[in-house]
Amino acid sequence: MPSPLALAYLGDAAYELWVRRFLIDAGLVKVKDLHRLAVELVRAPSQVELLRWLEPQLSEEEMEWVRRGRNANSNRCPKSTDVTTYRLATGFECLIGYWTLTCPDKLELLQTYFESRLGNNRQ
């Protein structure tokens, strides 16, 4: 298995792609709206909110990947967020990377979360 930071790198890209597909599937067509919502949903605080929602549904192995990602030291933190939030978001991205490689069907949990948060506006 790749390192936690490598999984977070993969998870970051996989999650952003997943969010973009969800927004388009939800019927959004204006690029300005797509971009604004996608940026909001992939920000570290939004990832932490989603992680908190997921935690009760995660196995001990999945929680271990979250912890490993959270504790990995990337030696950087954006100015737009605090260190704690950034580390938790890295743990979330590590989990998404892990799921992408080992059990992509688990990504369906994201669908449940977003439909409950944003509503199911599919056309």
Question: Catalytic amino acids?
Answer: 12
Tokens 């300005």 sit on residue: 32
Q: Are 123 and 33 within 8 A, CB to CB?
A: no
